[in-house]
Each structure stands twice: as C-alpha cells, then as structure tokens.
Structure 1
Amino acid sequence: MSSEILGPLRMHVEVERWPLVAPFRIAGYSFEFFDLLLITLEKDGQIGRGEAAGVHYRNDKPDSMRRQLEMLRADIEVGISRDSVQRMLPPGGARNALDCAVWDLEAKLSGRPAWEIAGLELPRPIVTTFTCGADSPQQMATAACRYTQARAIKLKLTGEQIDAARVREVRAARQDVWLAVDANQGFTRSSFEQLLPVLVEARVELVEQPFPVGQEALLKGFQSPIPIAADESVQCLADMPALVGCFDVVNIKLDKCGGFTEGVAMARAARELGLKAMVGNMIGTSLGMAPAHLIGQMCTVVDLDGPVFLRTDRSPRVEYSEGLIACPSGLWG
C-alpha cells in the first residue's frame, strides 16, 4: 500500500449532533444522542470525507478531536499522505477521521477504489449483528423481534443477576439467530462463571469483553466453551500480542485504533497471532460504517449496525437487507 502525498488541499472540520431513536444503555453508560466529528478534505474539485465518534471511555470526544486537527491544519493543508497521518496523531478518533478522509480523497483522485489500493478483495455484502441495549428481559426480547431480518444479534449485558433472564428471553423469542453477548467490562469472575451455563444453554457463540481493562489475567487458563473477544482491552495494533492466551477474538474499531490504515493492519496481524478478527463500531452514520465494512471482509464477526440507532442517516447510506450490510458506490472510498 504505497502512499502518495496529497496536497495542497483545504480542510473543513465540524462536530455534528445525531439524536438516537431511543435511549441506549450499556454497562455504566446511557446515551440519548451522539456527537460525531466530520472532516472533509478538498483537492482539484474532489472531496474526501471521514467521520469519527471517538472513544467515550477514554475521554476521546469530538470537541477535543476537532482541536487536535485544528492544531495541525497548516501541516495537513500543505500536503499529507496516509503514512504521514500515522505520524501526526496517536490512535483515536481524530486520526480515524483524518485517515479515512485521506483514503477517500486518494481513491477519488486516482480513480481506484480504496479496497483495491489496500490490496483487498472486491467487497461483498456480509452478515452483521444487530444490537439490543441492556433493558428488561421482555423489552430486549421485543427489540430482538423487531430485527425481523437479522441473522445475528448481540445483547448488551451489565453483570447484574437479571442477565440470565435477558439471555433466556431473547433466545426463546429468536431461536433462529446467531447470538453474542457484550459485557462492556461489566462481569466479575464469579458473575461470569455463574452465567456461563446459561450462555451455553442459550447457544451463545461469543462473549465480548467480560472483565474490566487491567484484569485480563483472569482469562489466563480460563476454560471457556464460548470464544471470548477483546474490545476495551485492545485499542490498537501494539496491544495485540498481549491478547494471546487470554482472548480468542480481537474487536477492531476504527475510532480506537485510529483509522482504516491501522484497522487493515490489525486484521492481518490477528491471523498471524492465531486470533480471529471482528470489526465493530462505537456508533456512527453510514459514512463511519463504510471503511469498517471493507475490514469486515477479513473478519469472522461483523458488528456494523450503528446507523439503525440514529433518527436520520447520511445519503447515500449503507444497505441492510436479509441480515446483511452492503455499501453502495459513492458512499466512501
């Protein structure tokens, strides 16, 4: 993936507020809206766009991301490349938005799609999970049934006693779907061990981030009959070697790792380390899902349902049909 310098160019950065259809709850947080950073880079009449939500639990928020980019405005506008983006900013939302905008602009200027530049295969529609926020068991089962087209569903759990009923109710309502649970660091070793037989009985296929960051050693030698995915425990490529022996799957999110460039590198590194790759999202419009969709071509689990929680979306938008996500041409890259 050779990287050419694009410049001079003009940059525009703004923070947009996107209301949710309904409040969304995970362990430790509840959301009614999300602020997203949008960056556009313009050169020779072509515009490249990148979007980022940041990482809320690391205090990486759109306003601070905008300040990071504004401090680099002169350096960016004189001319940048995908390689220089990696040196300008650390992993996080600001680099994600800038990196994705550079990829999008390069694709448009060169007439070559981003997947081809990255050395990936022609993208195809892929199965994505659809997420049920932590709620009462009955409400979560109802939410799961609303995803009539879903082939895969992920449940947000909290480490509370009610988690078992949540899983049972959803499985009873949706016998047909692949099922995963996401603790968002909410379990203790005891609560996980108590819940595990319920998860096995309910045919749960993946447990995401059971323990808090810093407690990964609890998984050393832990014989789980269900694969365990790292989310908060892995932010970027440098974190991956430490996952071996604790986790089976690595959840790649562009807001965490800092963009499409590192996301592709992480998916490739997962194979080398004997891990499976998953791609997810913090939240976002279709613009945020599009580069992640390309990484999803290399993953065994795809969790790119962010836009379904928003009252509105960008145009053009990703297409959800029969439990699959597909990206139309012209959206990104």
Structure 2
Amino acid sequence: MTALEIAVERWPIAGHFTIARGSRTEAVVVVATVRAGAHAGRGECVPYARYGESVDSVKAQLDGLREAVAQGLTRDELTHLLPPGAARNAIDCALWDLEATAAGLPLPALAGVPTPAPMLTAYTLSLGTPEAMQAAARQAAERPLLKVKLGGEGDPERIAAVREGAPHARLIVDANESWRAENLRANLAACARAGVELVEQPLPAGGDEALARADAPVAICADESVHDAASLARLPAWYNAVNIKLDKTGGLTDALRLRREASARGLGIMVGCMVGTSLGMTPALIVAGGADYVDLDGPLLLARDRDGGLRYEGSTLIPPWA
C-alpha cells in the first residue's frame, strides 16, 4: 500500500530575508512523504505568492493526489495531474527519492547523470539601504560569489556600496522584476561599473520589451519569465540565461528537461532555489552539476538546517554522493 503524508514546517531565517516583494523571518515549507512498504521518499517545496500559491493551496493540491498515490502514481502521470509549481515539486521529488531508496541507488545514478562534484554556490545579500548592504557585503566579502538583491529606485547606489564592501567578490544581481523601462539603462550601467556578471529578471515577465533596445552591457537571466521546459519556447530572444528552480518546474523531472533544452539553445544555466532546507536543495544538485551559476544557498540563510543536512565549506557545497 502506498500512502501520502503532508506536513507544513517553519524554519527560522537568520535575521531576515528581504527582496523587492517584501521581507520574511521564516521559511515555510511543505513536505510530502510517499510511503510504499518499508520505503519512503520525501520532497520539500516552498509555496510562492508571486505564482498564486499559498500553503493552503499547495496542501489542497497534494490532498487531491492521495488516491492517485495509493494507486501507484508515476512521475509521468504526475505531469498530467498537476501544473508546474510547488505542489508538483514536492511529490515529484518524493517519488524520485522513493525510487532511489527502494532501488538502493544514489539519486544521480537513477537520473542517469554524473555524480555532481563539489560546487561553488552564490551567497545572497538581502535588499536594504546602501549602508546596510555595504555592511552585509563586508561581512561576506570572503565569499567568492555574491548574489545581490536589488529593488528599483536607488539601485545604482546599492550596487556601488556592495562593490565597495566586497571589492574582490564576483557579483550577480537579482532585481525580482523591480526595474522599469525608464531606469533600465542607468541600472544596467551601474551594474557594469561594479563588474556585475549577470542580472536576473530586471523587468516584469511579459513586460520586458525594453530589454530588446537596451544593448545590455551584462548578461540577462530569465527567472519569472521561464518556468518549465514548455515555457522555454516563449522565452524572448534578449535573455542570455535561465534560472532553473524545482519549485517553478514542478520538480526534478521537468528541471532535467529544461536544463537539456536550454543548453541546446546555447543559453547559460543558473540553478536556483527558494529559501528552504537541505531537503529541498538536494534534488536540485542533480541539475546543478556543471551549471554556469549555482544559487543553492537556502540552508545558509536559515538559523538552522535539518539534522544531517548538506555540508557547506564556506561557499562550497558538498553533494552527499561526492
């Protein structure tokens, strides 16, 4: 008999986590556990209001799968029952974990990919005043790669302050759709002056035509503008890279497909995450091997992680199969 268990967990964030859409002091995750005989698989997701999700809506989606799980739901069948998003991610990853556990295989072997090597992850600096962000950058200055959250008005001052606080770190930027056509060129120029390598989703998805005329001096990465492999076909030509997140693709199954198809198009690859625990990061490592940018620092932003979670040595993430 196969059964589904659903749990909501709250994990305190170290301090706070602020982006253009607001600030949080805890990460709320939904965990799906699929049990089959003596074996169990778990998957974690983070409901995201930007995509119309809430803890209650994700729980309702998962509850609706109980009968399908009891009848032996497969990953392929799942793609026809739920849309891409957090709920499907939790179940998809639980099914991968269950199959790997039952077969006695490490997850990379089951997925047919090389065992990921230790990898450098970005470390995220929350949005704040230039002074606060400079102080945060100074504290994190020894980390090789910083991801800087920006928020629109005042961003040139913010990114200049971060560069001053961390003069030797590589920088990537995430604007979370907060820029507008009228400040796009000035913000991109400020990023170029600071040596930023990549700007993630500067303009709102579907309202980003100004990028076609911007002659951007740095690479532009799509986040909200691409969710899964199906949406890749609609991605505007002015994006140079895509951010693959399991909570967007609906799990590891489609994330692997998106990675293959984006690479075939010559797009750069970032593998990112929501703020969550090591349970949510681990399956993303299967997609992250060899990526241009890895942004799987969720556990580093928490006050505490799960027992037996992923191992980080500074900003180096050590896969559990390495």
What's the C-alpha RMSD, in Å, of the aligned pairs? 1.6
Give the letter aligned to residue 74 of structure 1.
E
Q: Secondary structure at the match of 1:243?
A: coil
Question: Could you tell me which residue of structure 1 aligns to residue 167 of structure 2?
Answer: 175
1:96 lines up with 2:89 in the alignment = yes
Partner of 2:41: 48
Counterpart-to-counterpart distance in 2, 1:148 and 1:111: 41
CA deviation profile, 1:283-313 (whole Å, cap 9, x unmatched): 1101101111221114211111111222221
Partner of 2:193: 201
For 1:61 and 1:319, locate their aligned partners in 2 and report how far apart those are by CA, in whole Å: 30
1:5 counterpart residue number: none
Asked whether the equivalents of residues 228 and 254 of structure 2 are also in contact (C-alpha less than 8 Å), the reply is: yes
Q: CA deviation at 1:79?
A: 0.6
Q: Which residue of 2 aligns with 1:297?
A: 289
What's the CA shift string for 1:177-233, capped at 9, x where partnerless? 110111100001221211222211111000010001211322224311200001111
Query: Which residue is equivalent to 1:20?
Result: 13
Number of equivalences: 322
- 1:193 partner SS: helix
Which segment is superposed worse, 81-90 or 48-57?
Answer: 81-90
For 1:4, the equivalent position in structure 2 comes to none
User: Which blocks of at least 5 consecutive residues in structure 2 are unaligned?
Assistant: none
Please say which of residues 302-311 and 178-187 is displaced more in the overlay. 302-311
* Gap change, CA 1:187 and 1:148, over 3 Å in 2: closer
Answer yes or no: is the 8 Å Cα contact 2:140–2:166 preserved in 1. Answer: no
User: Residue 113 of structure 1: which of 77, 96, 106 is its match?
Assistant: 106
Letter in 2 for 1:170: V
Q: TM (normalized to structure 2)?
A: 0.96
Cα deviation for residue 58 of structure 1 reads 1.4
Map 1:1-333 → 2, pairs under 5 A: 8-147=1-140, 149-161=142-154, 163-329=155-321
Question: Matches of 2:23 and 2:119 in 1, distance apart?
Answer: 29
Q: 1:287 to 1:149 in 2, by over 3 A?
A: farther
Maintained 8 Å contact 1:134/1:158: yes
Amino acid at match of 2:276: G
Cα offset, 1:147, TM superposition: 2.6
Shift of 1:276: 1.2
Q: CA deviation at 1:169?
A: 1.6
SS of structure 1 residue aligned to 2:8 = strand
CA distance in 2, matches of 1:127, 1:240: 26
The DSSP-based 3-state class of the residue aligned with 1:242 is: coil
Indicate the SS of the match to 1:32: strand
Q: Residues 64 and 38 of structure 1: is their aligned pair in 2 closer, same or farther, counting only changes over 3 Å?
A: same
- Structure 2: how far apart are the matches of 1:66 and 1:132? 30
Shift, 1:39, TM fit: 0.9
Letter in 1 for 2:232: M
Deviation at residue 56 of structure 1 after TM alignment: 2.0
Aligned AA (2:269): A
The CA deviation string for residues 41-95 of structure 1, in whole angstroms up to 9 with x for no partner, is 1123121110000222112122211111112201111212221121221101110
After TM superposition, the structure 1 stretch with the greater mean CA deviation from structure 2, 69-78 or 320-329, is 320-329
Taking structure 1 as the reference length, the TM-score comes to 0.93
Worse-matched range after superposition: 315-324 or 140-149: 140-149
Q: CA deviation at 1:244?
A: 4.5
Given that residues 172 and 197 in structure 2 are in contact (C-alpha distance below 8 angstroms), is that contact kept between their aligned partners in structure 1?
A: yes
* 1:204 alignment partner AA: V
Query: Which structure 1 residue ranges, 4+ long, deviate > 4 Å from structure 2?
Result: none
SS in 2 for 1:220: helix
Q: What are structure 1's unaligned runs of at least 5 residues?
A: 1-7
